[in-house]
Every structure is written in structure tokens, then in C-alpha cells.
Amino acid sequence: MPDVLLWLRRDLRLHDLPALLAAADAADGGRVLPVFVLDPRLLGRSPVRDACLIDALTRVTDSYDDALVLRHGRPEDVIPDLVRSIGAHSVHITSDAAPFGVRRDEAVAARLDGVPLVRTGSGYAVGPGRVHTATNTPYKVFTPYARAWREHGWRAPATVPTGLRWMRTVETEDLPTRPDVAADLPEVGERSALERWARFREDIDSYDEDRDRPDLDATSRLSVDLKWGTIHPRTLLADLRGRAGAGVERFVTELAWREFYADVLWHNPDSAWHDLRPMPGMAYDDPDADPAVADAVDAWREGRTGYPLVDAGMRQLAAQGWMHNRVRMVTASFLVKHLHVWWPVGARWFLDHLADGDVASNNHGWQWVAGTGTDAAPYFRIFNPTAQGEKFDPNGEYVRRWVPELRGVTGRAVHKGAAAPGARGYPQPIVDHREARSEALLRYETSRRG
Ligand SMILES: Cc1cc2nc3c(=O)[nH]c(=O)nc-3n(C[C@H](O)[C@H](O)[C@H](O)COP(=O)(O)OP(=O)(O)OC[C@H]3O[C@@H](n4cnc5c(N)ncnc54)[C@H](O)[C@@H]3O)c2cc1C
């Protein structure tokens, strides 16, 4: 009976995992060796990411009844070695659509000496690249994509195969030590994902109305699970079948945004780190070339800009490895449009500090803000961080939670920052909103006129 290998990556779960079903089918009574490769290229750069990965691996090892084998090294060395040593007939993976993953998987496939690398399913309800326009081109804007995505539909969740036989004869290696991180990170694992989902599902009806309010706990917090694959979006969508209402509709639309950005990246791998729609001649300030710009970027990173909503968001990011979506938009906009810094500087910072950091959602979210992406916010719409705070944190509770210097200020006056009565030691704004706005508009206009 054939033995096969199941190579886990960002699909760290047991349930609803089509690649596991495919592996069990291919083994046909033989054994399945589940393996995770600790790739040195992906470790040691972001303590938050390493901690999340190590937590998820610890939990998935339990779900796999201690059969999961860990190996350190480059996948194109480790996987072919394992295949040869156990005589595996096939290697099963969930397909990865991001540029790094695509290249990595091609490198592994090329060294398998004819043993098939079988891709089954993806981390999405509808795999990137599957939805096309009537003329067979990729969608460039969200709304028609989302319509076609819904029409395409998705499969039912995969079951856990019965009669699975794990291979237990291959030695595992140790997990790296979990880095000490200051952030209070969410639990990352299949059980906590399902619990988070069950809790959120109860409150989903108010999601449409409350999702833009960072002071409320009104969103699912499932981004970390979707990132690490401790839950699959298909599981969420299947649970929502037959449920109606604005909250459900809105939540499904947000999942579609995630899928849209993955689709965009699949078709445009360079958009990970380059403008999807370049703005020729656009002038940015370079923190590597100008110490004053570097200081301003540091103030942004550390939540010392003097704009309360921006600072609260950046401090929430440091404290929790997560930031509310509305605040991600405002903080990103501040870096690009108030400090005139090119979006990859901020995208890198986010990716290194978010527990849910995902190249497709993050880097296209940044490009949406910067005006270089799909569905870009019009360049002349520049968030006023004070007005955004007053609107979406109307009682100032979000700011007071994350900015202790403003805890003595009552109500929405916190959004006045250092000028608010009761503020203690809070910095003055590092830039003037009106001046920064005019400067951003001037630069955009200059670029548009060529
Ligand atoms: C500048 C910027 C950077 C971002 N970086 C990331 C990132 O690295 N990883 C990430 O998962 N999301 C990112 N987002 C999208 C969004 O902010 C987060 O998905 C959301 O805040 C996660 O919280 P939640 O799970 O409670 O979301 P919910 O409101 O509960 O939404 C449910 C799910 O829908 C998806 N979703 C929601 N909004 C978006 C969106 N705008 N774009 C793509 N998917 C979305 C996420 O998978 C999310 O978990 C970014 C947005 C911006 C503006």
C-alpha cells in the first residue's frame, strides 16, 4: 500500500482540509506522513509571526495526534529527501497563490523525480485565478468580482477522512524557541478559531452597523485564523447558508475582499511590492535619505504623531498584533498622505507586526489607501485623522484605551489630542493636517499632469 506525504503550510488544521482527504485517498489504506518545514527564510524576521506560527504548530501537533513531523531547512531540500527516505508515492499540498509560495512549490516539484506534487484546494472559498470576466480576463475592480465570486459559489467543507493511518516512523525535529513578544497575541489554533467564530456568529446581525467602530468589539477577529489556515472560509460560509440579513451579507462581502486581493496578486505577482497602477513622477519622502523623515516614520511606528486615532491604532498594533480595519486605513493614510512616504515602508511594518499579516490583503490594502491599487480611493480623498476619530470613536473610548496620556480627557474631546483639557504629556501633532493635505494634493496633481 502506498505511503504519501502531506506537507502543511498555511493550512494548520485537521478539519475541512481537502489536501488531507486527497492524501488519504491516494494512500488508500497506506500511511500518511504529515510534515511542516521550518524554512529559515521565513523565520527570525518577525517575532510576532514566529510566535503565531509556533503556537499554531504546537496545537496542530495535538490535533494530528503527535504524528506531525517538523523539519528545519529549505523545502526544496527537505521534501524530496523525505519523499526518497519513505518512498512516498505522492506529496499533497493546499495550493499557495502568493508569489513566494508559487516559486517555492515549483522548486520542490522540480526536485521530486517524477513523484507528483498534488495541489488540492486553496486557502480561499474560490481559488485565486478561477473567476474571470466574460472575455476571460481577470477582474480589476471589486464589485463585479464579488458578484462573479458569489455566482461561482464554493464547495461544501471537506470531511476528516476515516481510517487515516499516520506514519509514525520518521523522527521529528524540535520547534524553535518561541520568541518573547511584548504583544498579547490571540490564541492561534483550530479550536480557538472555531470558538471565535461561534462567538461572533451570535452577534453577526450587528456587524453591518458596528464594524467600523474601533471602540466596539464588533468584528470577528478571524483574520489571524484565516491567515494561518486554522479555519477555512468555506467553513464560515457553509455555516451562514440560509441565514440572511445585512450583517451576514456584509461579512460575506468582507470575505470576498480577502479573496479579491488574493486573485489580484495571483494575476499580478509584482503588485506585492510595486504599485499595481504606478503613478509616474509621484514624489515621496525617503526615510533612508532624510533623518527628519526617518524621525517622523519612527513617531508613526511608535504612536507618537500627536493624532490620537493614529497613535491609538499604532499602539494597539504593538500591544495586540492586530488593528481595527478602519484604523488600519487611517494610520496607513497618515503615513502615505501626511508624511508622504511610499506605502511599502508601512506595509513592511504592518506585515512584521500583525499576527494576521498577509501579503495580498495587507499590500493591496495599503495600495488602496495610497491610490495605486485596484478600486483605489480617489487620491483627493485624504482622511482627516481627527474627523475620522470623532466619527468612528464617538465617545473617545478607543483612544483612551490605548493612549494613557489622554485618559484624563472626557468624551470625544480626546480627539483634540494635546489641546484637549486633561491631556497629560501627549505630543503635539508632528505635522499640520491642512498643510500636509495641500502638499499631498500638490504631489498627486503634479504626478497626474505628468
Ligand atoms: C492598510 C491595511 C492593511 C491590512 N492588512 C491586512 C493583513 O495583513 N491581513 C488581513 O487579513 N487583513 C488585512 N487588512 C484588512 C482588514 O483590516 C482585516 O482583515 C481586518 O481588520 C481583520 O479583522 P477581523 O478579522 O475582525 O475582520 P472582520 O471585519 O471580521 O472581517 C472578516 C474577514 O474578512 C476579511 N477582510 C475584512 N476586511 C478586509 C479587507 N479590507 N481586505 C481584505 N480582507 C478583509 C478578513 O479575512 C477578515 O478576517 C488590511 C487593511 C488595510 C486597510
Q: What is the pLDDT of residues 31-46, one digit of tens each?
A: 999 999 999 999 999 9
Instruction: Kindly give the distance from the C-alpha atom of residue 163 to the centroid of ligand 1, in angstroms, as a whole number.
Output: 37
Cα of 180 vs centre of ligand 1, distance in Å, is 25
For domain 124-155+190-267, the question of CATH label 1.25.40.80 is answered with: yes
Q: How far is the C-alpha of 278 from the C-alpha of 276, rounded, in Å?
A: 6
Residues 390-427: tens digit of each pLDDT: 999 999 999 999 999 999 999 999 999 999 999 999 99
Ligand 1 atom with the shortest distance to the CA of 368 = 53
β partners of residue 36: 8, 70
**Residue 140: Cβ-neighbour burial (10 angstroms; 0-12, 13-18, 19+):** middle
Residue 433 binned pLDDT confidence (cut-offs 50, 70, 90)? very high
Give the distance (Å) from ligand 1 centre to CA of residue 109: 32
Tell me the average pLDDT across 260-289.
Answer: 95
Q: Is the pLDDT of residue 376 over 80?
A: no
Q: Is the Cα dihedral 96, 106, 112, 54 positive or negative?
A: negative
* Axis crossing angle, helix 325-333 with helix 343-353, rounded to the nearest 10: 140
Q: Report pLDDT for 374.
A: 87
Q: Which residue minimizes the CA distance to atom 30 of ligand 1?
A: 220
Nearest 5 degrees, angle CA 192-CA 197-CA 199?
95
Confidence of residue 380 (pLDDT cuts 50, 70, 90): confident
* Amino acid 1: pLDDT: 83
Mean pLDDT of 4-16: 98
Q: What percent of the chain has pLDDT over 70?
A: 99
pLDDT of residue 163: 87
Q: Which of 361, 366, 369, 381 most suits a substitution to test ligand 1, by most atoms within 8 Å of the C-beta?
A: 361
Closest residue (by CA) to atom 33 of ligand 1? 255
CB 390 within 8 A of CB 412: yes
196 three-state secondary structure? helix
Q: Which amino acid residue places its CA nearest to atom 16 of ligand 1?
A: 325
pLDDT exceeds cutoff 80 at 287: yes
Domain ranges of the chain: 4-121, 124-155+190-267, 291-449
Ligand 1 centre from 418 Cα, in Å?
31
For residue 357, the SS3 value is coil
pLDDT of residue 449: 83
Q: What is the dihedral of CA 54, 58, 60, 61, to 10 degrees?
A: 130
Q: How large a percentage of the chain has pLDDT more than 90? A: 95
Instruction: Tell me the best of 196, 254, 336 to mutate to test the pocket of ligand 1, counting ligand atoms within 8 Å of each CB and taking the most.
Output: 254
The four Cα atoms 187, 190, 196, 201 give a dihedral, to 10 degrees, of: 170
pLDDT band at 28 (very low <50, low <70, confident <90, very high): very high
The distance from CA 313 to its chain's CA centroid, rounded to whole angstroms, is 16
Spatial distance between the Cα atoms of 148 and 301, rounded to a whole number of angstroms: 38
Residue 421 CA to residue 187 CA, distance in Å, equals: 39
d(C-alpha 402, C-alpha 345), whole Å? 23
**pLDDT at residue 124 greater than cutoff 90:** yes
What pLDDT, on a 0 to 100 scale, did the predictor assign at position 377? 63
Cα(89) to centroid(ligand 1), Å: 39
- The three-state secondary structure class of 21 is helix
The burial of 276, by beta-carbon neighbours within 10 Å (0-12 exposed, 13-18 middle, 19 or more buried), is given as buried
Report the separation in Å between the CA atom of 446 and the middle of ligand 1, taken as the mean of its atom positions: 32
- What's the whole-number mean pLDDT along residues 275-292? 94
- Judged against a pLDDT cut of 80, whether residue 55 lies above it is answered with yes
The CATH architecture one would assign to domain 291-449 is Orthogonal Bundle (1.10)
Q: Supply the pLDDT for residue 127.
A: 96
Mean pLDDT of 316-337: 98
Confidence band of 96 (pLDDT split at 50, 70, 90)? very high
Query: What is the three-class DSSP state of 4?
Result: strand
How high is the pLDDT of residue 88? Answer: 97
Distance 169 CA to ligand 1 centre (A): 41
CATH class as words, domain 4-121: alpha beta
Helix (H) or strand (E) holding 37: strand 32-38
- Please determine whether the domains at 4-121 and 124-155+190-267 fall in the same fold group of CATH: no
Interval between CA 86 and ligand 1 midpoint (Å): 41
Cell (9 digits) for 405? 496620556
**Helical (H) or strand (E) element with 35:** strand 32-38
Pocket of ligand 1 (CB under 6 A): 211, 219-223, 226-227, 254-255, 257-258, 261, 325, 328-329, 332, 350, 354, 356-358, 361-362, 365-366, 369
Nearest CA to ligand 1 atom 18: 325
pLDDT given for residue 260 in this prediction: 97
